[in-house]
A = this chain, B = another copy of it.
């Protein structure tokens, strides 16, 4: 950690700062500049609080040099993590097959989800997604079928054999998800629901952690770190677009996260082109781009009747288009050294 102090900081204040850090077992090097003094701290700085240090009125700036994450950090874990789902039916990460997860935004009824699951399977999908608990901006919008929706997903798994992914919104449903769901999705709005993250650290199921709407990559990794620090290292990261000023898309899909996540961490990265663009017409192009850039998986909305979907129909692919997208992605995967 690097700390700079203001011009004219009195000698005794500088001494106090040095003594303070040395008292915490850190090694301090002082660099005297013309207008500023700079301190370099060596040792375990993960517990230091940057904002507390900055509260000293003589301090000009505080800069962290080493990353604040440990468990997720590739520096301390060189090999790619591969996350095993549903008793190794699907494996995500490393050199494994690029996983394709398809399904409706919301579960509407058993027959709908079973029918879509079959279409997903026939198109070559690896897993089924479907929301039973829906985070909706409006209290007047459809909120999801709850437990009934989860059980409809279970039925679809029985029929097709596809492992299931669904979004968990609250701690009180963890037992239900541990029992029935194969991969627990944490949505963008809950990425910093720290209470929920801590609870996920105490279970053993794999977690698909979506990036928050306006969260930095570092904050996102820190949320993975919450789960991992609690003991559950089965975390898959999922980019679903960030909020910008652009109105032609629902969000701006940030594909540069793919090489960055692979550089900074050892965790797999999955891309959601459906929520990011909010428009089925752009899903194929963004899926191809994600695979070309090295994504470990795709999560795509599929619906047999998008015009009558309960939610997010505008971004859903029909089964034929989903199959075509998978086929094209498979060709791209092959030339970048991956299977799909």
B306 touches A136 (CB 8 A): no
B281 touches A47 (CB 8 A): no
- A264 shortest CB reach to chain B, Å: 8
B55 touches A313 (CB 8 A): yes
Most buried by B among A68, A190, A264, A293: A293
- A80 shortest CB reach to chain B, Å: 15
Residues of chain A from 13 to 62 with CB closer than 8 A to chain B in the complex: 29, 31-36, 38, 40, 42-43, 46-47, 49, 51-52, 54-56, 60-61
Cβ of A182 under 8 Å from chain B: no
A286 touches B293 (CB 8 A): yes
Cβ of A291 under 8 Å from chain B: yes
Cβ of A255 under 8 Å from chain B: yes
Stretch of A88-96, A111-119, A212-220 that contacts chain B: A212-220
Across-interface contacts of A281 in B (CB, < 8 A): 259, 263
A245 touches B216 (CB 8 A): yes
A292 touches B291 (CB 8 A): yes
The number of chain A residues with a CB under 8 A from chain B is 113
Stretch of A124-132, A139-147, A154-162, A202-210 that contacts chain B: A139-147
**CA gap between A229 and B225 in the complex, in Å:** 36
Cβ of A309 under 8 Å from chain B: yes
Across-interface contacts of A66 in B (CB, < 8 A): 33, 35-36
B169 touches A171 (CB 8 A): no
A226 touches B139 (CB 8 A): yes
Across-interface contacts of A142 in B (CB, < 8 A): 49
A229 touches B139 (CB 8 A): yes
Known pairs A66-B36, A244-B244, A335-B335; A252 contacts B256 (CB<8 A) = yes
Cβ of A9 under 8 Å from chain B: no
B2 touches A63 (CB 8 A): yes
Additional 15 contacts, C-beta under 8 A, given A2-B65, A137-B222, A252-B254: A46-B140, A51-B312, A52-B308, A55-B314, A56-B307, A60-B65, A138-B225, A169-B195, A189-B193, A218-B248, A253-B255, A263-B281, A285-B292, A288-B336, A289-B293
9 examples of A-B residue contacts, CB within 8 angstroms: A51-B311, A169-B195, A171-B171, A216-B246, A244-B245, A245-B245, A252-B256, A289-B289, A289-B290
> Which A residues are within 8 Å of any B CB, using their own CB?
2, 4, 7, 29, 31-36, 38, 40, 42-43, 46-47, 49, 51-52, 54-56, 60-61, 63, 65-66, 68, 75, 135-143, 169-172, 189-190, 192-198, 213-214, 216-219, 222, 225-226, 229-230, 242-249, 252-256, 258-260, 263-264, 276-278, 280-282, 284-286, 288-294, 306-316, 328, 331-332, 334-336
